[in-house]
Structure 1
Protein backbone atom coordinates (compact mmCIF):
# COMPACT_ATOMS: atom_id res chain seq x y z
CA UNK A 1 0.00 0.00 0.00
CA UNK A 2 1.60 3.24 -1.18
CA UNK A 3 -0.57 6.23 -0.30
CA UNK A 4 1.55 8.48 -2.49
CA UNK A 5 0.15 6.74 -5.55
CA UNK A 6 -3.51 6.78 -4.47
CA UNK A 7 -5.70 8.58 -7.00
CA UNK A 8 -9.37 9.25 -7.70
CA UNK A 9 -10.72 9.21 -11.24
CA UNK A 10 -12.63 12.43 -11.70
CA UNK A 11 -15.76 12.68 -13.85
CA UNK A 12 -13.57 13.97 -16.70
CA UNK A 13 -11.53 10.76 -16.59
CA UNK A 14 -8.45 12.53 -15.21
CA UNK A 15 -6.76 10.95 -12.19
CA UNK A 16 -6.32 13.23 -9.19
CA UNK A 17 -3.85 12.36 -6.40
CA UNK A 18 -5.79 11.70 -3.20
CA UNK A 19 -3.14 13.41 -1.06
CA UNK A 20 -2.34 17.01 -1.87
CA UNK A 21 -0.23 19.76 -0.38
CA UNK A 22 -2.20 22.70 1.03
CA UNK A 23 -0.81 26.24 0.86
CA UNK A 24 -3.37 28.23 2.89
CA UNK A 25 -1.56 30.95 4.90
CA UNK A 26 1.80 30.01 3.35
CA UNK A 27 3.18 33.12 1.68
CA UNK A 28 6.48 34.57 0.59
CA UNK A 29 8.57 33.56 -2.41
CA UNK A 30 11.34 31.92 -0.40
CA UNK A 31 9.02 29.98 1.91
CA UNK A 32 6.79 28.82 -0.95
CA UNK A 33 9.80 27.52 -2.86
CA UNK A 34 11.18 25.72 0.19
CA UNK A 35 7.94 23.94 1.10
CA UNK A 36 7.21 22.94 -2.49
CA UNK A 37 10.77 21.69 -2.86
CA UNK A 38 10.32 19.45 0.20
CA UNK A 39 6.84 18.41 -0.89
CA UNK A 40 7.93 17.33 -4.37
CA UNK A 41 10.96 15.55 -2.92
CA UNK A 42 8.83 13.27 -0.74
CA UNK A 43 6.17 12.52 -3.33
CA UNK A 44 3.42 15.13 -3.36
CA UNK A 45 2.09 15.70 -6.87
CA UNK A 46 -1.02 17.70 -5.99
CA UNK A 47 -0.80 21.38 -4.99
CA UNK A 48 -3.80 23.30 -3.64
CA UNK A 49 -4.04 27.09 -3.75
CA UNK A 50 -6.69 29.81 -4.14
CA UNK A 51 -6.93 33.36 -5.38
CA UNK A 52 -7.48 34.65 -1.84
CA UNK A 53 -4.34 32.89 -0.57
CA UNK A 54 -2.21 35.47 -2.37
CA UNK A 55 0.46 32.93 -3.33
CA UNK A 56 -0.42 31.79 -6.86
CA UNK A 57 2.34 33.86 -8.48
CA UNK A 58 5.02 32.54 -6.12
CA UNK A 59 3.83 28.96 -6.66
CA UNK A 60 4.15 29.44 -10.41
CA UNK A 61 7.66 30.81 -10.10
CA UNK A 62 8.72 28.01 -7.76
CA UNK A 63 7.44 25.28 -10.07
CA UNK A 64 9.37 26.68 -13.02
CA UNK A 65 12.56 25.91 -11.10
CA UNK A 66 11.47 22.81 -9.22
CA UNK A 67 9.85 20.70 -11.94
CA UNK A 68 13.12 20.40 -13.91
CA UNK A 69 14.97 19.67 -10.64
CA UNK A 70 12.84 16.57 -10.10
CA UNK A 71 12.63 15.68 -13.80
CA UNK A 72 8.90 16.35 -13.78
CA UNK A 73 6.70 17.71 -16.55
CA UNK A 74 3.69 19.96 -16.15
CA UNK A 75 1.34 17.00 -16.64
CA UNK A 76 2.96 15.21 -13.70
CA UNK A 77 1.57 17.84 -11.32
CA UNK A 78 -2.08 18.46 -10.37
CA UNK A 79 -2.78 22.13 -9.57
CA UNK A 80 -5.93 23.46 -7.91
CA UNK A 81 -7.02 27.07 -7.39
CA UNK A 82 -10.26 28.69 -6.33
CA UNK A 83 -12.57 31.58 -7.15
CA UNK A 84 -12.54 34.51 -4.75
CA UNK A 85 -15.99 35.34 -3.34
CA UNK A 86 -15.40 38.87 -4.67
CA UNK A 87 -15.41 37.46 -8.22
CA UNK A 88 -18.59 35.44 -7.79
CA UNK A 89 -20.82 35.81 -10.85
CA UNK A 90 -20.04 36.70 -14.45
CA UNK A 91 -16.44 37.62 -13.54
CA UNK A 92 -15.57 34.01 -12.78
CA UNK A 93 -14.17 33.19 -16.23
CA UNK A 94 -11.78 36.15 -16.09
CA UNK A 95 -10.80 35.18 -12.57
CA UNK A 96 -9.70 31.77 -13.88
CA UNK A 97 -7.62 33.50 -16.55
CA UNK A 98 -6.03 35.71 -13.90
CA UNK A 99 -5.15 32.72 -11.70
CA UNK A 100 -3.68 30.97 -14.74
CA UNK A 101 -1.58 34.03 -15.53
CA UNK A 102 -0.30 34.09 -11.96
CA UNK A 103 0.50 30.38 -11.92
CA UNK A 104 2.11 30.42 -15.39
CA UNK A 105 1.36 26.72 -15.76
CA UNK A 106 -0.44 26.44 -19.12
CA UNK A 107 -3.69 25.21 -17.63
CA UNK A 108 -5.23 24.63 -14.20
CA UNK A 109 -6.22 21.06 -13.38
CA UNK A 110 -9.05 21.98 -11.01
CA UNK A 111 -10.78 25.28 -10.27
CA UNK A 112 -13.34 25.54 -7.45
CA UNK A 113 -15.97 28.04 -6.42
CA UNK A 114 -14.43 28.78 -3.03
CA UNK A 115 -17.61 29.73 -1.14
CA UNK A 116 -21.35 29.52 -1.91
CA UNK A 117 -21.79 33.19 -1.03
CA UNK A 118 -20.54 36.40 -2.60
CA UNK A 119 -18.56 39.21 -0.99
CA UNK A 120 -20.78 42.08 0.08
CA UNK A 121 -23.96 40.01 -0.20
CA UNK A 122 -25.80 39.10 3.03
CA UNK A 123 -25.68 35.38 3.73
CA UNK A 124 -29.50 35.19 3.86
CA UNK A 125 -29.94 36.86 0.46
CA UNK A 126 -31.26 34.84 -2.50
CA UNK A 127 -28.80 36.84 -4.61
CA UNK A 128 -26.10 34.35 -3.52
CA UNK A 129 -27.81 31.55 -5.46
CA UNK A 130 -28.05 33.71 -8.59
CA UNK A 131 -24.40 34.69 -8.40
CA UNK A 132 -23.04 31.18 -7.86
CA UNK A 133 -25.22 29.98 -10.75
CA UNK A 134 -23.61 32.66 -12.95
CA UNK A 135 -20.19 31.60 -11.66
CA UNK A 136 -20.81 28.02 -12.70
CA UNK A 137 -21.85 29.04 -16.21
CA UNK A 138 -18.69 31.16 -16.45
CA UNK A 139 -16.48 28.30 -15.23
CA UNK A 140 -17.96 26.03 -17.89
CA UNK A 141 -16.81 28.59 -20.48
CA UNK A 142 -13.32 28.57 -18.98
CA UNK A 143 -13.32 24.78 -19.17
CA UNK A 144 -14.45 24.81 -22.79
CA UNK A 145 -11.64 27.24 -23.60
CA UNK A 146 -9.07 24.91 -22.07
CA UNK A 147 -8.09 27.24 -19.22
CA UNK A 148 -9.06 24.56 -16.72
CA UNK A 149 -9.55 20.79 -17.04
CA UNK A 150 -12.00 20.26 -14.16
CA UNK A 151 -14.34 22.52 -12.23
CA UNK A 152 -15.85 22.03 -8.81
CA UNK A 153 -16.96 23.67 -5.59
CA UNK A 154 -15.86 24.24 -2.02
CA UNK A 155 -17.90 24.63 1.15
CA UNK A 156 -21.05 23.42 -0.60
CA UNK A 157 -23.46 21.75 1.77
CA UNK A 158 -26.21 19.36 0.63
CA UNK A 159 -28.62 22.19 -0.21
CA UNK A 160 -26.04 24.05 -2.32
CA UNK A 161 -24.85 20.91 -4.07
CA UNK A 162 -28.39 19.68 -4.79
CA UNK A 163 -29.27 23.07 -6.24
CA UNK A 164 -26.21 22.97 -8.51
CA UNK A 165 -26.83 19.40 -9.66
CA UNK A 166 -30.38 20.39 -10.63
CA UNK A 167 -29.05 23.22 -12.81
CA UNK A 168 -25.45 22.48 -13.74
CA UNK A 169 -25.74 23.05 -17.51
CA UNK A 170 -24.73 19.46 -18.12
CA UNK A 171 -21.45 19.69 -16.19
CA UNK A 172 -21.36 18.21 -12.70
CA UNK A 173 -18.80 19.44 -10.18
CA UNK A 174 -15.77 17.15 -10.05
CA UNK A 175 -14.86 17.92 -6.45
CA UNK A 176 -16.45 19.34 -3.30
CA UNK A 177 -13.83 20.59 -0.82
CA UNK A 178 -15.20 21.02 2.69
CA UNK A 179 -14.17 21.04 6.34
CA UNK A 180 -13.95 17.34 7.17
CA UNK A 181 -12.50 15.61 10.23
CA UNK A 182 -13.75 13.35 13.04
CA UNK A 183 -15.62 16.28 14.58
CA UNK A 184 -17.19 17.50 11.35
CA UNK A 185 -18.44 15.03 8.78
CA UNK A 186 -21.97 14.93 7.41
CA UNK A 187 -23.11 11.50 6.24
CA UNK A 188 -25.75 12.93 3.91
CA UNK A 189 -23.19 15.08 2.10
CA UNK A 190 -20.80 12.15 1.71
CA UNK A 191 -23.61 9.95 0.39
CA UNK A 192 -24.65 12.57 -2.18
CA UNK A 193 -21.09 13.06 -3.41
CA UNK A 194 -20.53 9.32 -3.75
CA UNK A 195 -23.82 8.89 -5.62
CA UNK A 196 -22.90 11.61 -8.12
CA UNK A 197 -19.25 10.59 -8.60
CA UNK A 198 -18.01 13.78 -6.91
CA UNK A 199 -14.75 13.54 -4.97
CA UNK A 200 -15.11 14.74 -1.39
CA UNK A 201 -11.94 16.60 -0.38
CA UNK A 202 -11.16 17.54 3.21
CA UNK A 203 -9.67 20.72 4.56
CA UNK A 204 -8.96 21.47 8.23
CA UNK A 205 -8.27 17.76 8.71
CA UNK A 206 -6.53 18.48 12.02
CA UNK A 207 -9.35 20.64 13.36
CA UNK A 208 -8.60 24.18 14.46
CA UNK A 209 -5.51 25.71 16.01
CA UNK A 210 -4.18 26.00 19.55
CA UNK A 211 -6.53 24.61 22.17
CA UNK A 212 -9.12 23.89 19.48
CA UNK A 213 -6.87 21.46 17.64
CA UNK A 214 -7.79 17.80 17.41
CA UNK A 215 -4.11 16.94 17.80
CA UNK A 216 -4.52 16.99 21.59
CA UNK A 217 -7.77 15.04 21.62
CA UNK A 218 -7.39 12.11 24.08
CA UNK A 219 -8.98 9.62 21.68
CA UNK A 220 -6.74 10.67 18.80
CA UNK A 221 -3.68 10.56 21.05
CA UNK A 222 -4.51 7.09 22.35
CA UNK A 223 -4.93 5.64 18.85
CA UNK A 224 -1.69 7.35 17.75
CA UNK A 225 0.20 5.77 20.66
CA UNK A 226 -1.26 2.34 19.94
CA UNK A 227 -0.25 2.49 16.26
CA UNK A 228 3.04 4.31 16.88
CA UNK A 229 1.97 7.22 14.67
CA UNK A 230 1.52 10.94 15.25
CA UNK A 231 -1.95 12.36 16.00
CA UNK A 232 -1.78 14.23 12.68
CA UNK A 233 -1.17 10.99 10.81
CA UNK A 234 -4.17 9.40 12.52
CA UNK A 235 -6.46 12.27 11.54
CA UNK A 236 -5.23 12.27 7.94
CA UNK A 237 -5.39 8.51 7.58
CA UNK A 238 -8.96 8.53 8.97
CA UNK A 239 -10.01 10.48 5.85
CA UNK A 240 -7.85 8.66 3.30
CA UNK A 241 -9.09 5.31 4.59
CA UNK A 242 -12.58 6.44 3.53
CA UNK A 243 -11.35 7.46 0.07
CA UNK A 244 -11.63 11.13 0.98
CA UNK A 245 -8.94 13.42 -0.42
CA UNK A 246 -6.78 15.54 1.90
CA UNK A 247 -4.64 18.67 1.52
CA UNK A 248 -2.59 19.04 4.71
CA UNK A 249 -0.32 22.07 4.95
CA UNK A 250 2.98 22.32 6.80
CA UNK A 251 6.02 24.56 6.87
CA UNK A 252 8.64 22.13 8.15
CA UNK A 253 10.23 19.35 6.12
CA UNK A 254 9.60 16.84 8.91
CA UNK A 255 5.85 17.48 9.02
CA UNK A 256 5.55 17.63 5.24
CA UNK A 257 7.10 14.16 5.04
CA UNK A 258 5.00 12.78 7.91
CA UNK A 259 1.74 14.01 6.38
CA UNK A 260 2.19 11.87 3.27
CA UNK A 261 3.51 8.82 5.16
CA UNK A 262 0.15 7.20 5.69
CA UNK A 263 0.88 3.62 4.67
CA UNK A 264 -0.88 2.00 7.62
CA UNK A 265 -4.41 0.96 8.52
CA UNK A 266 -6.54 2.20 11.41
CA UNK A 267 -8.50 -0.75 12.91
CA UNK A 268 -12.25 -0.70 12.27
CA UNK A 269 -13.15 -0.15 15.91
CA UNK A 270 -10.91 2.91 16.08
CA UNK A 271 -12.35 4.27 12.84
CA UNK A 272 -15.81 3.99 14.35
CA UNK A 273 -14.71 5.63 17.60
CA UNK A 274 -13.20 8.55 15.70
CA UNK A 275 -16.30 8.95 13.56
CA UNK A 276 -18.51 8.97 16.67
CA UNK A 277 -16.61 11.85 18.26
CA UNK A 278 -18.69 14.88 19.28
CA UNK A 279 -19.65 17.27 16.49
CA UNK A 280 -17.44 20.33 16.30
CA UNK A 281 -16.92 22.74 13.39
CA UNK A 282 -13.73 24.84 13.50
CA UNK A 283 -13.80 26.81 10.25
CA UNK A 284 -16.59 28.76 8.57
CA UNK A 285 -20.20 27.59 8.57
CA UNK A 286 -21.54 27.37 5.01
CA UNK A 287 -24.97 26.32 6.27
CA UNK A 288 -25.71 30.00 6.90
CA UNK A 289 -25.44 30.88 3.20
CA UNK A 290 -28.81 30.82 1.47
Structure 2
Protein backbone atom coordinates (compact mmCIF):
# COMPACT_ATOMS: atom_id res chain seq x y z
CA UNK A 1 0.00 0.00 0.00
CA UNK A 2 1.35 3.40 -0.98
CA UNK A 3 1.15 6.28 1.50
CA UNK A 4 0.95 10.03 0.98
CA UNK A 5 2.76 12.44 3.27
CA UNK A 6 1.07 15.43 4.89
CA UNK A 7 2.76 18.80 5.33
CA UNK A 8 3.18 17.98 9.06
CA UNK A 9 5.21 14.84 8.25
CA UNK A 10 2.48 12.32 9.08
CA UNK A 11 1.33 9.83 6.44
CA UNK A 12 -1.92 8.29 5.24
CA UNK A 13 -2.68 5.28 3.01
CA UNK A 14 -3.59 6.33 -0.52
CA UNK A 15 -6.62 4.00 -0.63
CA UNK A 16 -9.18 3.47 2.09
CA UNK A 17 -12.68 2.10 2.56
CA UNK A 18 -15.51 4.64 2.61
CA UNK A 19 -18.76 3.76 4.39
CA UNK A 20 -21.08 6.58 3.30
CA UNK A 21 -24.65 5.24 3.04
CA UNK A 22 -23.66 1.93 4.63
CA UNK A 23 -26.34 1.09 7.17
CA UNK A 24 -25.29 0.47 10.76
CA UNK A 25 -25.27 -3.26 11.48
CA UNK A 26 -23.67 -6.54 10.54
CA UNK A 27 -23.13 -5.60 6.89
CA UNK A 28 -21.11 -2.54 7.84
CA UNK A 29 -19.10 -4.40 10.46
CA UNK A 30 -18.36 -7.25 8.05
CA UNK A 31 -17.32 -4.87 5.24
CA UNK A 32 -14.85 -3.05 7.50
CA UNK A 33 -13.41 -6.29 8.88
CA UNK A 34 -13.11 -7.81 5.39
CA UNK A 35 -11.35 -4.69 4.12
CA UNK A 36 -8.78 -4.78 6.92
CA UNK A 37 -8.13 -8.51 6.45
CA UNK A 38 -7.58 -7.83 2.73
CA UNK A 39 -5.01 -5.10 3.17
CA UNK A 40 -6.93 -1.89 3.77
CA UNK A 41 -5.42 0.20 6.54
CA UNK A 42 -7.61 3.31 6.18
CA UNK A 43 -11.31 3.49 7.11
CA UNK A 44 -13.39 6.64 6.57
CA UNK A 45 -16.66 7.26 8.42
CA UNK A 46 -18.58 10.25 9.83
CA UNK A 47 -21.01 11.08 12.60
CA UNK A 48 -23.77 11.79 10.10
CA UNK A 49 -23.42 8.33 8.54
CA UNK A 50 -24.78 6.89 11.80
CA UNK A 51 -22.61 3.79 11.52
CA UNK A 52 -19.63 4.58 13.74
CA UNK A 53 -20.51 1.81 16.21
CA UNK A 54 -20.50 -0.88 13.51
CA UNK A 55 -17.33 0.58 12.01
CA UNK A 56 -15.69 0.30 15.42
CA UNK A 57 -16.78 -3.32 15.75
CA UNK A 58 -15.45 -4.06 12.28
CA UNK A 59 -12.13 -2.43 13.13
CA UNK A 60 -11.71 -4.67 16.17
CA UNK A 61 -12.67 -7.81 14.29
CA UNK A 62 -10.42 -6.92 11.35
CA UNK A 63 -7.46 -6.19 13.63
CA UNK A 64 -7.88 -9.53 15.34
CA UNK A 65 -8.02 -11.56 12.12
CA UNK A 66 -5.26 -9.56 10.41
CA UNK A 67 -3.13 -9.70 13.57
CA UNK A 68 -2.33 -5.99 13.51
CA UNK A 69 -2.26 -3.18 16.07
CA UNK A 70 -4.33 0.01 16.26
CA UNK A 71 -1.24 1.95 15.24
CA UNK A 72 -1.26 0.09 11.90
CA UNK A 73 -4.61 1.67 11.00
CA UNK A 74 -5.66 5.16 9.90
CA UNK A 75 -9.20 6.02 11.04
CA UNK A 76 -11.11 9.11 9.91
CA UNK A 77 -14.38 10.61 11.12
CA UNK A 78 -16.04 13.96 10.60
CA UNK A 79 -17.71 16.83 12.42
CA UNK A 80 -21.24 17.66 11.26
CA UNK A 81 -22.57 21.21 10.95
CA UNK A 82 -24.89 20.79 13.96
CA UNK A 83 -21.79 20.54 16.15
CA UNK A 84 -20.08 23.70 14.88
CA UNK A 85 -19.06 26.41 17.35
CA UNK A 86 -17.22 26.95 20.57
CA UNK A 87 -17.74 24.25 23.17
CA UNK A 88 -19.26 21.75 20.73
CA UNK A 89 -16.36 20.37 18.73
CA UNK A 90 -14.56 18.47 21.47
CA UNK A 91 -17.83 16.96 22.69
CA UNK A 92 -18.64 15.78 19.17
CA UNK A 93 -15.14 14.35 18.77
CA UNK A 94 -15.42 12.48 22.07
CA UNK A 95 -18.83 11.11 21.04
CA UNK A 96 -17.34 9.74 17.83
CA UNK A 97 -14.49 8.16 19.79
CA UNK A 98 -16.97 6.58 22.17
CA UNK A 99 -19.07 5.12 19.35
CA UNK A 100 -16.00 3.85 17.51
CA UNK A 101 -14.56 2.59 20.84
CA UNK A 102 -11.21 4.18 20.05
CA UNK A 103 -8.79 6.30 22.06
CA UNK A 104 -7.98 8.69 19.21
CA UNK A 105 -8.60 9.40 15.54
CA UNK A 106 -5.88 9.68 12.94
CA UNK A 107 -7.88 12.31 11.07
CA UNK A 108 -10.84 14.48 12.04
CA UNK A 109 -12.50 16.56 9.34
CA UNK A 110 -14.99 19.41 9.19
CA UNK A 111 -17.59 17.72 6.99
CA UNK A 112 -18.86 20.85 5.14
CA UNK A 113 -17.87 24.51 5.41
CA UNK A 114 -21.48 25.65 5.86
CA UNK A 115 -22.75 29.08 4.88
CA UNK A 116 -21.73 31.02 8.03
CA UNK A 117 -18.12 32.01 7.52
CA UNK A 118 -17.49 33.28 11.04
CA UNK A 119 -18.89 30.08 12.53
CA UNK A 120 -16.66 28.06 10.22
CA UNK A 121 -13.58 29.98 11.42
CA UNK A 122 -14.59 29.60 15.06
CA UNK A 123 -15.09 25.87 14.51
CA UNK A 124 -11.66 25.47 12.93
CA UNK A 125 -10.12 27.17 15.97
CA UNK A 126 -11.75 24.42 18.06
CA UNK A 127 -10.29 21.80 15.69
CA UNK A 128 -6.88 23.43 16.18
CA UNK A 129 -7.35 23.08 19.93
CA UNK A 130 -7.90 19.32 19.56
CA UNK A 131 -4.81 19.01 17.39
CA UNK A 132 -2.54 21.23 19.50
CA UNK A 133 -3.49 19.25 22.61
CA UNK A 134 -2.62 15.93 20.93
CA UNK A 135 -6.17 14.62 21.05
CA UNK A 136 -6.16 13.91 17.30
CA UNK A 137 -3.25 13.12 14.99
CA UNK A 138 -4.35 15.29 12.03
CA UNK A 139 -7.13 17.73 11.16
CA UNK A 140 -8.56 18.59 7.78
CA UNK A 141 -11.63 19.65 5.86
CA UNK A 142 -14.27 18.25 3.53
CA UNK A 143 -15.91 19.94 0.58
CA UNK A 144 -14.04 23.23 0.93
CA UNK A 145 -13.54 25.38 -2.15
CA UNK A 146 -10.72 27.84 -2.71
CA UNK A 147 -12.49 30.78 -1.07
CA UNK A 148 -13.18 28.73 2.09
CA UNK A 149 -9.54 27.71 2.29
CA UNK A 150 -8.36 31.27 1.71
CA UNK A 151 -10.45 32.51 4.62
CA UNK A 152 -9.07 29.76 6.84
CA UNK A 153 -5.49 30.68 5.93
CA UNK A 154 -6.12 34.34 6.76
CA UNK A 155 -7.77 33.77 10.14
CA UNK A 156 -6.24 30.57 11.60
CA UNK A 157 -2.83 29.08 12.40
CA UNK A 158 -2.99 25.36 11.60
CA UNK A 159 -3.34 24.49 7.94
CA UNK A 160 -5.58 21.52 7.04
CA UNK A 161 -3.58 18.46 6.00
CA UNK A 162 -6.25 17.34 3.54
CA UNK A 163 -9.38 18.45 1.68
CA UNK A 164 -11.79 15.63 0.89
CA UNK A 165 -13.98 16.60 -2.06
CA UNK A 166 -16.15 15.18 -4.79
CA UNK A 167 -13.75 14.10 -7.53
CA UNK A 168 -14.33 11.73 -10.42
CA UNK A 169 -13.80 11.78 -14.19
CA UNK A 170 -16.83 14.03 -14.71
CA UNK A 171 -15.68 16.49 -12.00
CA UNK A 172 -11.89 16.85 -12.01
CA UNK A 173 -11.73 20.21 -10.16
CA UNK A 174 -8.41 21.11 -11.80
CA UNK A 175 -8.27 24.66 -10.38
CA UNK A 176 -8.84 23.41 -6.84
CA UNK A 177 -6.31 20.61 -7.36
CA UNK A 178 -3.61 23.08 -8.43
CA UNK A 179 -4.45 25.34 -5.48
CA UNK A 180 -4.13 22.46 -3.01
CA UNK A 181 -0.87 21.28 -4.55
CA UNK A 182 0.59 24.80 -4.28
CA UNK A 183 -0.21 24.81 -0.56
CA UNK A 184 0.85 21.21 0.13
CA UNK A 185 -2.67 20.19 1.14
CA UNK A 186 -3.53 16.65 0.02
CA UNK A 187 -6.64 16.20 -2.13
CA UNK A 188 -8.89 13.23 -1.34
CA UNK A 189 -11.80 12.00 -3.43
CA UNK A 190 -15.12 10.84 -2.10
CA UNK A 191 -17.42 8.89 -4.42
CA UNK A 192 -14.59 8.30 -6.89
CA UNK A 193 -16.75 5.85 -8.85
CA UNK A 194 -19.65 8.33 -8.99
CA UNK A 195 -22.03 5.82 -7.37
CA UNK A 196 -20.99 3.39 -10.14
CA UNK A 197 -22.31 5.73 -12.87
CA UNK A 198 -18.83 6.30 -14.30
CA UNK A 199 -18.28 2.58 -14.87
CA UNK A 200 -20.49 2.67 -17.98
CA UNK A 201 -18.48 5.42 -19.64
CA UNK A 202 -17.13 4.23 -23.00
CA UNK A 203 -13.68 5.77 -22.54
CA UNK A 204 -13.31 4.13 -19.13
CA UNK A 205 -14.37 0.78 -20.59
CA UNK A 206 -11.93 1.14 -23.49
CA UNK A 207 -9.02 1.86 -21.17
CA UNK A 208 -10.05 -1.05 -18.93
CA UNK A 209 -9.71 -3.35 -21.94
CA UNK A 210 -6.36 -1.84 -22.84
CA UNK A 211 -4.87 -2.53 -19.40
CA UNK A 212 -6.84 -5.73 -18.72
CA UNK A 213 -8.44 -4.35 -15.57
CA UNK A 214 -12.00 -3.51 -14.53
CA UNK A 215 -13.48 -0.03 -15.08
CA UNK A 216 -13.50 0.52 -11.30
CA UNK A 217 -9.82 -0.35 -11.05
CA UNK A 218 -9.03 2.06 -13.89
CA UNK A 219 -10.81 4.95 -12.16
CA UNK A 220 -9.18 4.20 -8.81
CA UNK A 221 -5.78 3.95 -10.48
CA UNK A 222 -6.48 7.27 -12.23
CA UNK A 223 -7.00 8.81 -8.77
CA UNK A 224 -3.61 7.46 -7.71
CA UNK A 225 -1.89 8.70 -10.87
CA UNK A 226 -3.31 12.14 -10.07
CA UNK A 227 -1.77 11.99 -6.59
CA UNK A 228 -5.05 11.80 -4.67
CA UNK A 229 -6.13 9.77 -1.67
CA UNK A 230 -9.33 7.89 -2.49
CA UNK A 231 -11.96 6.00 -0.50
CA UNK A 232 -14.17 3.85 -2.76
CA UNK A 233 -17.21 2.44 -0.98
CA UNK A 234 -18.38 -1.15 -1.19
CA UNK A 235 -19.95 -3.75 1.07
CA UNK A 236 -19.42 -6.57 -1.44
CA UNK A 237 -16.37 -8.68 -0.51
CA UNK A 238 -15.28 -9.21 -4.12
CA UNK A 239 -15.49 -5.51 -4.92
CA UNK A 240 -13.67 -4.54 -1.73
CA UNK A 241 -10.83 -6.79 -2.87
CA UNK A 242 -11.02 -5.52 -6.47
CA UNK A 243 -10.83 -1.86 -5.44
CA UNK A 244 -7.49 -2.24 -3.68
CA UNK A 245 -5.93 -4.43 -6.36
CA UNK A 246 -4.57 -1.48 -8.32
CA UNK A 247 -0.85 -1.47 -7.53
CA UNK A 248 0.27 -3.97 -10.17
CA UNK A 249 -0.37 -1.70 -13.16
CA UNK A 250 -0.23 1.93 -14.19
CA UNK A 251 -1.91 4.19 -16.70
CA UNK A 252 0.05 5.99 -19.39
CA UNK A 253 0.06 9.79 -19.48
CA UNK A 254 -2.12 9.55 -22.58
CA UNK A 255 -4.67 7.37 -20.77
CA UNK A 256 -4.72 9.72 -17.76
CA UNK A 257 -5.28 12.66 -20.09
CA UNK A 258 -8.12 10.85 -21.88
CA UNK A 259 -9.86 10.38 -18.53
CA UNK A 260 -9.13 13.97 -17.46
CA UNK A 261 -10.78 15.12 -20.69
CA UNK A 262 -14.08 13.53 -19.64
CA UNK A 263 -14.66 16.42 -17.22
CA UNK A 264 -18.14 17.98 -17.40
CA UNK A 265 -18.05 19.87 -14.07
CA UNK A 266 -20.91 17.53 -13.14
CA UNK A 267 -21.68 17.06 -9.44
CA UNK A 268 -23.63 14.22 -7.90
CA UNK A 269 -23.38 15.86 -4.47
CA UNK A 270 -24.25 19.28 -3.09
CA UNK A 271 -22.55 22.53 -4.04
CA UNK A 272 -20.16 23.41 -1.15
CA UNK A 273 -20.84 27.12 -1.65
CA UNK A 274 -24.52 26.65 -0.84
CA UNK A 275 -24.89 23.59 1.39
CA UNK A 276 -25.95 24.34 4.99
CA UNK A 277 -26.71 20.83 6.21
CA UNK A 278 -30.40 20.90 5.45
CA UNK A 279 -31.99 18.58 2.92
What's the TM-score bracket when you normalise by the shorter of the two chains?
over 0.9
* Residue equivalent to 1:141: 129
Shift of residue 135 of structure 1?
0.9
Contiguous gaps of at least 5 residues in structure 1:
118-122
Distance 1:141 1:278, change over 3 A: closer
Shift of residue 171 of structure 1?
0.5
Report 1:197-212 matches (<5 A).
197-208=184-195
* Residue equivalent to 1:12: 8
Shift of residue 227 of structure 1?
1.3
Shift of residue 289 of structure 1?
5.4
* Residue equivalent to 2:268: 282
1:55 aligns with 2:40: no
* Residue equivalent to 1:107: 104
Select 1:247's aligned residue among 219, 223, 231. Answer: 231
On the 8 A contact 2:24/2:53 being kept in 1, the answer is no
1:220 aligns with 2:216: no
* Residue equivalent to 2:251: 266
Contiguous gaps of at least 5 residues in structure 2:
none
Question: What's the CA shift string for 1:52-88, capped at 9, x where partnerless?
Answer: 0001112122323331221111110000000111112
1:182 aligns with 2:178: no
The total of aligned residue pairs comes to: 273
1:235 aligns with 2:235: no
Report 1:104-183 matches (<5 A).
104-117=101-114, 123=115, 128-168=116-156, 170-183=157-170
Q: Aligned equivalents of 1:278 and 1:69: distance in 2? A: 41
| Backbone CA RMSD of aligned residues | 1.5
TM-score by length of 2: 0.94
Q: Aligned equivalents of 1:202 and 1:151: distance in 2? A: 16
TM-score by length of 1: 0.90
Q: Aligned equivalents of 1:65 and 1:260: distance in 2? A: 20
On the 8 A contact 2:31/2:58 being kept in 1, the answer is no
* Residue equivalent to 2:39: 43
* Residue equivalent to 1:69: 65
For 2:118, what is the secondary structure of its paired residue?
A: helix
Shift of residue 276 of structure 1?
1.0
